[in-house]
Amino acid sequence: MALEQNREATDVIKNAEEAAAEAVRHPWVRSLSGCGFYAKGILFIVVGTLAIFLSAGLRGGRITDPTGALNAIGQLRMGGALLFFMAVGALGHGIWNMLRGIGDVDDNGGGIFGILTRSIAVCIGLFYVWLAFNAASFLFLEGETVTSGDVERSITAILISVPLGILIVLFLGLGFFGAAIHEFYSGVSGKYQEHYRLWQMETFELALVTVLGILSFSTRAVLYLLISYFFLASVFLLDPAQVRGFDGALLALAQTRYGGLLLLAAGYGLVCHGILAFFEAKYRRIC
């Protein structure tokens, strides 16, 4: 009986993988994924630029995260059109990430690390679907978007208050720590380029992508490391208020002794990640 149930569960998983792998090949998914990379790039460029402005003492500078960047985009003269594009692009990026995780587009396999990597892709997809909802809400309901930091603190408060929930928060903290190591390694080693169609790139483009990767992934590694610290601190202090998101990590850098320089460097790193996303739109293997 147990063997038959395991076989049925395996068949369900296999069918889901095949369906996702088939869906990701559809032209509309490929088109949406392209829009998604551009939307992702715009978000990181906005977050990075606002951080640079703040560190340089320029008007309009502030610390924010991708959800807060939607507010900034909505306040521009063409904000409505841009928000519509961001909603479509974020939705496309979310769907593609979920499909690539389920369908194993990047050939990560079914081992422990492969499943973990694919699970992260699905989580990224869910986050971008949530961003798309925020963009649409801001556009059609004219409301303020909810920052990811607020959501993280609310979820953490719920988890800490229920049995075994604190273990989930602990694993999230360790997960961000692992993500920090992975981001740094990917950027320095160039491992992320395994998913690029490098043979289509000019020599100058390849060199530029390499530099952008080192700067952007190293920056994200530092931010993920700080977010990991915040999650782990919330566990050991039993205080969900300790949890912070992308904006909290940038604020922590700004509050150090050399905060201005660190925030400036982080801002440029995030802008680099946004520019890299434009190259992803052109050269990234979609399926």
The 10s digit of each residue's pLDDT in 129-160 is 988 988 888 877 765 555 555 666 666 666 66
Name the band, by pLDDT with cuts 50, 70 and 90, for residue 42.
Answer: very high
The pLDDT of residue 12: 59
The pLDDT of residue 270: 96
Name the band, by pLDDT with cuts 50, 70 and 90, for residue 228.
Answer: very high
Inform me whether the pLDDT recorded for 273 exceeds 90: yes
Name the band, by pLDDT with cuts 50, 70 and 90, for residue 71.
Answer: confident
Pick the residue with more confidence: 163 or 105?
Answer: 105
The phi and psi torsions of 141 (rounded to 5 degrees) equal -105, -5
Q: Mean pLDDT throughout 235-240?
A: 80
